[in-house]
Amino acid sequence: MIGQVQTDFESTKGRGMKRRRKLIAGAAVVALFVGVTAHSAVMNILAVGTTTYSEVINGPATLTFRQLLMDPGEVSGWHYHPGTLISVVKRGTVAVEDGCGGEDPHNTGEAFEAVGERVHRAKAGGEQLEEFNLFITPQGMMPTVQVPEKRCGPPVSRQECKRDGWRDFDHPRRFANQGDCIEFVRRQQ
């Protein structure tokens, strides 16, 4: 009888340890999830509409109006926008870092455009960023396309292809030479 009690006790103790391990593992997963999402940008889609013809993209388009909120110091992932993006900074500051190098800072009250699918990322300044965006994209395309890593391109002017500049581009593809890069730019215009 005493042996039986010990066995039951050890069995109960073993189940308790398993439960405790599961609880700790579950708490770790929740903590990781909360830690990762606690500082994520908030993107509120305000309105979406379509038009049969947009002069901006020379064809049928989807127009998406969005509010973007980013915490101080937050940095987005690398991405690009098919079509055209028009942005107004309502509050805070944002630096748009180009995948080819350089940053373009924008302050409260400033507007800017992103055209030509250039890879970039947004970096919020020292206070919460509130930005309003208008995406004009070919119908059926998402307003934002994420890329897995920093990329340079595409070239937006013939000048960027000159003086071996063509060698820097790896989005949407690498170029064989300066002429190949310039021809790509010509076809995009």
| pLDDT tens digits for range 129-165 | 999 999 999 999 999 999 999 999 999 999 999 999 9
H helix intervals, 38-132 = none
Residues 93 and 126: their CA atoms lie apart, in Å, by: 8
Domain ranges, ordered by start, for the chain: 1-38, 42-146, 158-188
User: For residue 56, what are its two tokens?
Assistant: 């901006």
Residues 100 and 78: their CA atoms lie apart, in Å, by: 12
pLDDT of residue 6: 46
Q: Domain 42-146: which topology?
A: Jelly Rolls (2.60.120)
Contact call for residues 48 and 63 (beta carbons, < 8 A): yes
* DSSP string across 45-56: EEEEEEEEEETT
Closest C-alpha among 122, 44, 126, 68 to residue 92: 126
pLDDT of residue 39: 53
Q: Is the model's pLDDT at 36 over the cut of 50? A: no
Query: Is the model more confident about 116 or about 148?
Result: 148
Burial of 129 (0-12, 13-18, 19+ CB in 10 A): buried
How many CB atoms within 10 Å of residue 50? 11
Stretch 77-96: mean pLDDT: 97
Q: Is the model's pLDDT at 121 over the cut of 90? A: yes
Q: Assign 188 a pLDDT band (cuts: 50, 70, 90).
A: confident
| pLDDT tens digits for range 41-70 | 999 999 999 999 999 999 999 999 999 999
How many CB atoms within 10 Å of residue 58? 9
pLDDT of residue 25: 42
pLDDT of residue 14: 54
pLDDT of residue 28: 38
pLDDT, mean over the chain: 85
Q: Is the model's pLDDT at 98 over the cut of 60? A: yes
Stretch 71-80: mean pLDDT: 97
Question: 2 by DSSP, 3-state: which?
Answer: helix
pLDDT of residue 15: 54
pLDDT of residue 163: 96
Query: Is the model more confident about 120 or about 8?
Result: 120
pLDDT of residue 187: 93
Say what the alpha-carbon torsion angle 184, 61, 110, 128 is, to the nearest 10 degrees.
-110
Q: Count CA atoms closer than 13 A to 45's CA, side-chain side.
A: 10
